[in-house]
Structure 1
Amino acid sequence: MRSRGWSRSSGTRDTLLRAARDVFLAKGYGDATVADIVDASGISVGSLYHHFGGKPGLFLALWEQFMRGQEERTSRAAKATAGTAERFLAGARAYLEGSWEQREVARLFLENDGPAEFTTLRRQRGWDWIGGNKRLLGLDDSRESQVLVVLLTTMMGEAGREVAACESERDAEVTIDEVIRLVRRMLPTSPDVARATP
């Protein structure tokens, strides 16, 4: 009995998320309404509010889903590669490829059109990525290392936007290759700037 209820609940959430994604992509967050999402999903207003608390909750759930996918993709790629710099580059490439593969959703989140709390949550996620990149690169706590990891992380975020905005797969491939080439040049090579991760 519980599993059927869980399955129904999960199915309702998935249906609402798919409908919200389609509506947000078609209209943008600001112009989309709860009524639009209810119409597209065939799910009641009450269920929408029960599962997500409203339109902002749906948008943030979609964003979390996208970011979780990006994090899993980069982590898998990094773990499958040897060497500190090569792990970072493999993760960076996977992140950019995800930005292309999920370009419609990525563009939605890059438009700065979202609920009020979105900017704060995105900023916090950025700091989380900076911390993860610092650990991945095995950087010390020096100011130089902090500047480097902030620049690399910011560069990757902007590169993701650039890739998502590409008009063709060929343009995306060229952009990804160029970003990886530039990032490779920025990565530390001397032991006094970075140490190998354990």
Structure 2
Amino acid sequence: MKSRRWSRSSGTRDALLRAAREVFLSRGYAEATVADIVETSGISVGSLYHHFGGKPGLFLALWEQFMRGQEERTSRAAKATEGTKERFLAGARAYLEGSWEQRDVARLFLENDGPAEFSTLRRQRGWDWIGGNKRLLGLADTRETHVLVVLLTTVMGEAGREVAACESDDDAQVTIDAVIRVVRRMLSEADRPHTGS
């Protein structure tokens, strides 16, 4: 009995998330209403509030779902590659390919159209991403390497936006290849000895 209830609950959540995605993509977050999502899903208002607490909760759950998928994709690619910098590049390419494959929802999250708490959560996720990249690259803990990792992470975030905005597979692939070349050069620069000015 308990597993059937859980299954029904999971199905309700999935249906609400699918409907929210459809409504947010067609109308944008600000213009979407709970009534639109309820109508599209066929699920009651009470269930929507029970599972997500309202429209902001649905948006944030979609974002978490997208980010979790991106993290899994990049982690798989990095683990399948040898060498610290090559792992970073493989993960970077996987992230960008995910931005293209999921471009509709990626564009939604890059538009800055979301609930008030979204920018704070996204900023926190960015700092977490910087920390993860720093660990992945295994660079010495210096101010210079911290700046490098911040720049690499920022480049990847903006590159994801560029890839998601591409008009064709060819444009996306050219953009991804160009970004990987730039990131490779940045990583190569980190290997060179630097002297003070």
Q: State TM-score, norm by structure 1.
A: 0.96
Q: Tell me the residue number matched to 2:12.
A: 12
Q: Unaligned 5+ residue runs, structure 2? A: none
Instruction: Give the secondary-structure state (helix, strand or coil) at the position aligned to 1:116.
Output: coil
2-structure distance, mates of 1:161, 1:168: 14
Bigger mean CA deviation after superposition, 132-141 or 26-35: 132-141
Structure 1 residue ranges, 4+ long, deviating more than 2 angstroms after superposition: 188-193
CA RMSD of aligned residues (A): 1.1
2-structure distance, mates of 1:190, 1:178: 21
1:1-198 to 2 correspondences below 5 Å:
1-188=1-188, 190=191
1-structure distance, mates of 2:192, 2:84: 12
2-structure distance, mates of 1:57, 1:63: 10
* Equivalent residues, number: 193
Letter in 1 for 2:55: K
Bigger mean CA deviation after superposition, 157-166 or 137-146: 137-146
Among the aligned pairs, what percent are the same residue? 84
The Cα shift of 1:192 comes to 6.8
1-structure distance, mates of 2:192, 2:161: 32
Q: State TM-score, norm by structure 2.
A: 0.96
The Cα shift of 1:141 comes to 1.6
The Cα shift of 1:102 comes to 0.2
String of CA shifts for 1:36-81, please: whole Å, max 9, x gaps: 0000000000000000000000000000000000000000000000
